[in-house]
């Protein structure tokens, strides 16, 4: 390996083999396929100038998900490297406990170009995610990019890690946020495995930029644009609820039923958190061209917005 400071062996290999994820490198290490100086190593072992690494890659693990051509995808753009879809509210992105079928991944696997070679290794919930580089919650609608090659997957993940991907969400909030920039520690809520929280002294960094687009219902609600600098699970929902004190309309996990009967009626008719991934912009991993996709909210979100306007 090239001269330089000592680093973790899994980090070094992920850099030396850019088409392979760090999770996949750890899988090789755990299987004894990576030797340092002729001996098996651990992911956290440190290597430096003069270290000899011997790597015997494993075959990609098969995806446990089954192809399902019945999952209809609204494709906005597709080429040999990636695919961009308009994910409807109610569609789960990848198989997980309680949702092993009928997901976006099941639909992708029924299309040419998606298979075991795109498997990125299981995440902390041990679920398959071929080609998936970022996620949208089940009940959030909007634009999502999916990789069709391992090289594209790693390039897109690198852009996400560098915070160069443009992601803007539209939200309907209960109350009008006054915070414009929210920057907190972030992690799982120890009291509930389903929830995340920003009320931590230490954790991963989470940054959300908030812009009020329109005051609604006489100031009882608002149309808000949230630009993600980081992309933690449930980040916008948590930040608006815990930090801005203006939870999303109809968010059953981080919000509550409004005391105001008019807002409660709008919330009940919507029936899912009022969040829509409206803008996604990134650099194409092959051509270097800047791509940008912008989607109007779906009918249910637009109807709730119109109802809130009428209450003003």
Mind listing the pLDDT tens digit for each residue in 231-252? 999 999 999 999 999 999 999 9
Confidence tier at 1 by pLDDT (50, 70, 90)? very low
Q: Indicate which residue of 79, 124, 126, 137 is catalytic.
A: 137
Query: ∠ CA(112), CA(138), CA(153), 5° rounding?
Result: 40
- The answer, yes or no, to whether residue 275 has pLDDT greater than 60, is yes
Task: Tell me the β-bridge partners of 144.
Answer: 85
Q: What DSSP assignment string belongs to 146-208?
A: EESSHHHHHHHHHHHHTT-SEEEEEEEEES----SEEEEEEEE-TT-TT-EES--SSSEEEEE
CATH fold label, 166-310: Pseudouridine synthase (3.30.2350)
* Dihedral angle computed from the Cα positions of residues 307, 280, 20 and 231, in that order, rounded to the nearest 10 degrees: -50
* Residue 260 among the catalytic residues: no
Angle separating helix axes 261-270 and 299-310, nearest 10 degrees: 170
Q: Do domains 74-161 and 166-310 have the same CATH topology?
A: yes
User: Tens digits of per-residue pLDDT, 163-184?
Assistant: 999 999 999 999 999 999 999 9
**Distance (Å, whole) CA 170 – CA 214:** 11
At residue 290, the pLDDT reads 98
Domain boundaries, the chain: 7-55, 74-161, 166-310
Cα torsion 228, 229, 230, 236: sign: negative
At residue 125, the pLDDT reads 42
With CA atoms as reference, report the closest residue to 211 among 228, 232, 225. Answer: 225
User: Tens digits of per-residue pLDDT, 84-126?
Assistant: 999 999 999 877 666 667 899 889 988 887 765 555 444 434 4
The region that residue 98 occupies, defined by phi over 0 for left and psi between -120 and 50 for alpha, beta otherwise, is left
Average pLDDT (4-8) is 81
At residue 127, the pLDDT reads 47
With CA atoms as reference, report the closest residue to 306 among 216, 240, 219, 246. Answer: 216
**Distance (Å, whole) CA 293 – CA 207:** 22
CATH architecture of 7-55: Roll (3.10)
User: Tens digits of per-residue pLDDT, 42-60?
Assistant: 999 999 888 899 999 887 6
**Distance (Å, whole) CA 7 – CA 11:** 7
**Distance (Å, whole) CA 106 – CA 130:** 10
CATH entry 3.30.2350.10 includes domain 74-161? yes
pTM value > 0.95: no
At residue 150, the pLDDT reads 86
Across the chain, mean pLDDT equals 89
Identify each DSSP E strand in the chain by its residue range: 7-8, 34-36, 39-40, 46-47, 53-55, 74-78, 82-87, 141-147, 166-174, 181-188, 196-197, 204-216, 221-228, 275-283, 290-294
* Three-state SS at 13: helix
**Distance (Å, whole) CA 268 – CA 304:** 10
């Amino acid at each position: 390996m090239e001269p330089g400071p000592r680093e973790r062996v899994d980090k070094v290999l992920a850099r030396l083999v850019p088409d392979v994820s760090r999770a996949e490198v750890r899988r090789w290490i755990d299987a004894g396929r990576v030797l340092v100086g002729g001996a098996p190593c651990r992911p956290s072992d440190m290597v430096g100038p003069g270290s000899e690494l011997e790597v015997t890659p494993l075959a990609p693990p098969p995806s446990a998900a089954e192809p399902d051509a019945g999952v209809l995808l609204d494709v906005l753009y597709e080429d040999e490297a990636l695919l961009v879809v308009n994910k409807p509210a109610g569609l789960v992105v990848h198989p997980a406990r309680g949702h092993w079928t009928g997901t976006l991944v099941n639909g992708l696997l029924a299309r040419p170009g998606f298979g075991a070679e795109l498997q990125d290794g299981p995440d902390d919930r041990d679920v398959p995610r071929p080609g998936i580089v970022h996620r949208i919650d089940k009940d959030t609608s909007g634009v999502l990019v999916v990789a069709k090659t391992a090289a594209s997957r790693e390039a897109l993940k690198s852009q996400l890690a560098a915070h160069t991907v443009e992601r803007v969400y539209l939200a309907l909030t209960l109350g009008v946020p006054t915070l414009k920039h929210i920057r907190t520690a972030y992690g799982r809520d120890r009291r509930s495995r389903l929830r995340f929280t920003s009320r931590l002294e230490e954790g991963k960094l989470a940054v959300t930029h908030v812009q009020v687009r329109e005051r609604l219902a006489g100031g009882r609600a608002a149309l808000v644009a949230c630009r993600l600098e980081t992309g933690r699970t449930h980040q916008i929902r948590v930040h608006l609820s815990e930090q801005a004190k203006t939870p999303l309309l109809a968010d059953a996990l981080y919000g509550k039923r409004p005391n105001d009967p008019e807002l409660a009626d709008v919330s009940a008719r919507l029936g899912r958190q009022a969040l829509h991934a409206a803008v996604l912009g990134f650099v194409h991993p092959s051509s270097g061209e800047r791509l940008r996709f912008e989607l109007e909210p779906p009918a249910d979100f637009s109807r709730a917005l119109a109802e809130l306007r009428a209450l003003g």
